């Protein structure tokens, strides 16, 4: 008998990260994350809601990270 692991929206394996994991990933507060989402110039991915909880698609976060300018080498 083979067991299947249920993937919840909170697990990275499911492709979603909860708000707390996003704060930790970027070292910011909940308020900063809120500002990023509401600032069109940031082009930060919009969250997906499961009930009242916010989750971000991991692939969208990674795409956003790749688009960020890199610092110039000295």
Whether 63 is in a domain gets the answer: yes
CA separation for the pair 34, 13 (Å, rounded): 24
Q: What is the rounded CA–CA span in Å between residue 36 and residue 50?
A: 20
Which pLDDT score is estimated for 5?
A: 38
Q: Report pLDDT for 2.
A: 46
pLDDT of res. 71: 61
Q: What is the pLDDT of residue 69?
A: 86
Residue reference for tokens 């989402």: 37
Provide the domain count of the chain. 1
pLDDT score at 59: 96
pTM of the full predicted structure?
0.75
What is the rounded CA–CA span in Å between residue 13 and residue 17?
9
Q: Is residue 3 part of a domain?
A: no
Full domain range(s) for residue 43: 12-67
74 in any annotated domain: no
For residues 49 and 10, the answer to whether their CB atoms sit within 8 Å is no
Residue 7 lies in a domain: no
Which parts of the chain register pLDDT below 70?
1-13, 71-74
Please report the beta strands in the chain, taking only residues with DSSP state E, as ranges in sequence order: 16-18, 48-50, 53-57
Residue 58 counted as domain residue:
yes
């Amino acid at each position: 008998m083979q067991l299947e692991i249920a993937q919840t929206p909170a697990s990275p394996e499911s492709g979603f990260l909860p708000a707390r994991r996003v704060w930790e990933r970027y070292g910011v507060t909940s308020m900063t994350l809120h500002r990023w989402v509401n600032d069109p110039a940031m082009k930060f991915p919009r969250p997906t809601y499961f009930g009242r909880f916010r989750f971000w698609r991991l692939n969208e976060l990674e795409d956003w990270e790749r688009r960020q300018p890199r610092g110039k080498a000295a």
